[in-house]
Structure 1
């Protein structure tokens, strides 16, 4: 599962990696939470100059996919993740898997190791980032929800897969990572059906990410600074006082709070 992530790269770095012609300036974000706007990359409707490939565009969507057939999002679960193994067969994700695949730029993600209660151990937060640094592209899905008054909201979810050997000690799921050489295949919903890109829905190599223990300050959406990614000893992190949590708690699927941005 991916319940929090970060994007601290510069707009120039994002534009260069994803081949974007235009990208508005944006601030570094260290604690991106469900229901907040997230930056995503999609294929455009026209060919890029000097290429027969569609021009890629960036836009903001609400993190928490809402299918178009939903009448009231308040009565529908907050779908921040989609299981890659079953997404094509689920009513909530089937159309997006076929027609609206996206890329989600990130600098890394946060995950919590939650031992069984009987173990007596405390949960530990980890900042998980590429060992070599840089930007990672998560596989995502997008849907546009329309309200009764005709207004529209673009929404999205991140695809997850069973964790690789390195991440499995922390959590059994992890985001699907799309390599730069596979961006075009993943985004091409015109000629690439879900069965054609199924090979991309796999865990990252075990040595791709590094997991750094951090304090549980990331649990609170009001904490948004770079100190969230400062390494701490695991024993120190477990002993630190827990911050007041927003409704839903850190990393939960139904998370929402007064200090989160919302597109609804």
Structure 2
């Protein structure tokens, strides 16, 4: 199966999110972090919202605060080399990280220790191969959208990094992140064998704590009950192209799809 989670939707306004979480909105601190509205087709390399907990740089002894930051989706390891000034050289897009291997993977192990985040989203997409290939011999894939039944936001476990061009230290650093994935559980196994790792609110303090490692159990595959209120439904193939972006991506496919409704569940 293809690597997931590679596409998701978010309608979260950073200022509203900061108010809801009693967090500092730091998304306006950088010229590339301006809020441009809902994104129904978030793809790797896009700027995405994250929730982190950090100490104030000027008052490091104070208690850490929740902060809303915008980051590039696709983690850039701190040791990555630069291509052009201030721009990392092209490499494998690290937009996902396996939760069971991240702590021992060179690209992610530093972030597992001290740079963990939450990635808020409305829901995410996956594609299921259906029926016979088309006239050109290509597999026919039906996109599905996974989200909470009540429309409440999802918060996925993530890792983040601060990359700096060592040859041009005056240039601003690049913040980037990856979404942790784990084995799919419950009915989500009908869609894909992997899923983003959800982080329940009762574990946020331990997960985001900048001063201590996260408990190992938070990286383990969660119980099926943790995703029991997530529904999966077929949506328009418009989502197949990243050029398309709007609420129409979440509409059912024309004609109801080819038997895809049988995979929809609650």
> Which band: TM-score by shorter chain?
0.7 to 0.9
Residue number in structure 1 paired with 2:156: 138
> In the TM superposition, what is the alpha-carbon distance from 1:59 to its structure 2 partner?
1.0
| Contact 1:7–1:28 (CA under 8 A) maintained in structure 2 | yes
- 1:85 equivalent in alignment to 2:103: no
Residue number in structure 1 paired with 2:31: none
Which secondary structure does the structure 1 equivalent of 2:190 belong to?
Answer: coil
User: Where does structure 2 lack aligned partners over 5 or more consecutive residues?
Assistant: 28-33, 83-87, 261-266
| Contact 2:238–2:244 (CA under 8 A) maintained in structure 1 | yes
| Contact 1:15–1:23 (CA under 8 A) maintained in structure 2 | no
Aligned equivalents of 2:258 and 2:132: distance in 1? 17
Aligned equivalents of 2:252 and 2:130: distance in 1? 20
Residue number in structure 2 paired with 1:65: 75
Which secondary structure does the structure 2 equivalent of 1:227 belong to?
Answer: helix
Aligned equivalents of 1:38 and 1:146: distance in 2? 19
Normalization by structure 1: what TM-score?
Answer: 0.79
The more displaced of 130-139 and 118-127 is 118-127
Deviations 1:157-210 (A, max 9, x none): 00000011211111111001111121111000312x24x243354346341210
Deviations 1:9-28 (A, max 9, x none): 34465224433143668311
> In the TM superposition, what is the alpha-carbon distance from 1:8 to its structure 2 partner?
1.1
Aligned equivalents of 1:87 and 1:117: distance in 2? 37
Aligned equivalents of 1:71 and 1:37: distance in 2? 21
Report the aligned-residue RMSD: 2.7
> In the TM superposition, what is the alpha-carbon distance from 1:110 to its structure 2 partner?
0.8
Normalization by structure 2: what TM-score?
Answer: 0.78
Report how many residues are paired. Answer: 232
User: Where does structure 1 lack aligned partners over 5 or more consecutive residues?
Assistant: 238-264
Alpha carbons of structure 1 residues 74 and 66: separation in structure 2 relative to 1, 3 Å:
same
